[in-house]
Amino acid sequence: MKHLLEIRLTSTRPALDARPLEKRVGLIILATDHTTEPDFRRMVASDRIGVYVARIPYANPTTPENLRKMQPSLTAGAALILPDEPLDAICYSCTSASVVIGDAEIEAAVQAAKPGVPVVTPPMAGVRGLKALGARTISILTPYTVETSRPMAAYFAAHGFDIASFTCLGFEDDREMARIAPTSLVDLAREATDAQADALFVSCTALRAALAVVGMEEAIGRPVVTSNQATAWNCLRLCGDDEPRAEFGRLMTLPLGQ
């Protein structure tokens, strides 16, 4: 007959750090998203900054109506990220939905679960990035249909930018958008950038555009801001990380600004 193993309970408890990692960035992403997590792991996560993800329901095709349907899930999604613990920033990673729903509405929905947390959306970060680069006249490239692209044009115009050109690719499924090769984006950027533009904004968190930023900038001879690059930059700066990361484009060398 085997003897029962004695399990000893220690009489002392180890001291606890204030946090497992110093800074916390939350991500709310689409159920279908292939790209944001790898991008944030590459550009944001470190021994100092943790990235914590919640997925919310989303169904293609990418139309304004379907994008707007995500709004009721935002509060519950935010609540699932380290419940009852504060975050240093939280990003809702969908550019087109942020434009359709509205930055203020997204902030209110997220802060209902995470009061006081700085909320970042891709178009908001894009505007901040373009302004940090001194751009006033821009070209825009999106993978969307014309219908889904129109609100994007109106958003950037409302934030004071002159739009020299706007090019869209006509895709309806974000999973297919994620399959566009980064090298193809370099050629598309060259075609989409107007000679009068100060910078190019490449929209959509599904695109693997952050991997192509340097190539796009070399191809067009001016700065490029992409959705995931801009939100990563914004979240890093909110975490007090000002380290230049030129391998992800000119924007990643700049402070957040006002």
Q: What is the pLDDT of residues 137-159, one digit of tens each?
A: 999 999 999 999 999 999 999 99
For the segment 179-197, the average pLDDT, to the nearest whole number, is 97
Query: For position 258, what pLDDT does the model report?
Result: 56
> 2 pLDDT exceeds 90?
no
Pull the structure tokens for residue 1: 């007959």
Going by pLDDT thresholds of 50, 70 and 90, the confidence category of residue 1 is low
Average pLDDT, the chain: 96
Residue with tokens 């504060």: 86
The structure's pTM equals 0.94
For the segment 44-48, the average pLDDT, to the nearest whole number, is 97
Going by pLDDT thresholds of 50, 70 and 90, the confidence category of residue 238 is very high
Going by pLDDT thresholds of 50, 70 and 90, the confidence category of residue 257 is confident
For the segment 179-183, the average pLDDT, to the nearest whole number, is 97
Own/partner contacts of 16-20, CB < 8 Å, gap of 24 or more, are: 20/50
pLDDT digits (tens, 9 = 90+) for 84-113: 999 999 999 999 999 999 999 999 999 999
> 29 pLDDT exceeds 90?
yes
For the segment 163-189, the average pLDDT, to the nearest whole number, is 97
Own/partner contacts of 53-57, CB < 8 Å, gap of 24 or more, are: 53/26, 53/27, 53/28, 53/29, 53/81, 54/26, 54/27, 54/28, 54/29, 54/78, 54/80, 54/81, 55/28, 55/29, 55/30, 55/31, 56/28, 56/29, 56/30, 56/31, 57/31
For the segment 246-255, the average pLDDT, to the nearest whole number, is 97
User: Is omega for the bond preceding 61 within 30 degrees of 0, making it cis?
Assistant: yes
> What does DSSP say about strands 119-120 and 137-142: parallel, antiparallel, or unpaired?
unpaired
pLDDT digits (tens, 9 = 90+) for 112-140: 999 999 999 999 999 999 999 999 999 99
